[in-house]
Chains A and B, each alone.
Chain A
């Protein structure tokens, strides 16, 4: 029995579009906030993971590349990746780095730091990205947040692609901070 496709089955295209837009103009990085707020909102209001289960372009992209295009070894991932301590540890690390990024934005807004037109990969490697922004286009802090947020999105997608190739297509989902957070919200809502 073939499932009928819904509009949201094509959201993997959104993932590709997001990175393409941000490549040419970093301000588009702000659109990624949708992927941050919508899952939490859905989990908080409806008490389910409709976002992960149907709306997440990234999860769909990993299935497309890993499963449909057979770019995944489809091997069992190490046991610890789906363990509680690793998932929550990674969530804390991710939120700390997010907080750090917000603080950088604050420093630029307060005039205590200059705008840095770089994308930081894996929280370590600075990649010049100056073609994606023309100075003065908007306020510096708006641009700083864009570079920071794009770095976060790109880094997590790259980690996701690496574990997709090495293990199962959606291995990233086992420790994805959004997935961990939304599942916890649902568990609290349903007291499980």
Chain B
């Protein structure tokens, strides 16, 4: 079983409020969140371990840490 299947949480970005500053990607320990096109941040679900660092630093308060499968990325 891959390690990530044991991880129950993941980060979800509210793209309507994201200002694409990249503060989240600067603190993510595994580069699971990026701002690829300057519009808003995107989380790679299969990489994210749900540690919450991005959510803690996000100045716009637009990252939630949710149970996997709880809600689709908006």
Give the interface of A toward B (CB within 8 A): 1, 3, 43, 47-50, 52-54, 59, 63, 67, 74, 76-77, 79, 82, 87, 167-174, 176, 179-180, 182-183, 185-187, 189-190, 192
Contacts and interface: CB of A to CB of B under 8 A. Distances in A.
A167 B23 CA distance: 14
Contact of A179 (B21, B37, B62): B21
A59 B38 contact: no
5 contacts: A47-B38, A49-B20, A170-B59, A173-B19, A173-B59
A152 to B, nearest CB: 20
A154 B20 CA distance: 23
Contacts of B57: 63, 67, 168-170
A42 to B, nearest CB: 9
Contacts of B17: 82
Interface of A is mostly: helix
Nearest to A175: B19
A3 B28 CA distance: 10
Q: How large is the interface on B (under 10, 10 to 19, 20 to 34, 35 or more residues)?
A: 20 to 34
B30 interface: yes
Contacts, number: 96
Interface in B1-45: 17, 19-23, 25-27, 29-31, 35-39
A59 B22 CA distance: 9
A54 B34 CA distance: 11
A119 to B, nearest CB: 27
A183 B59 contact: no
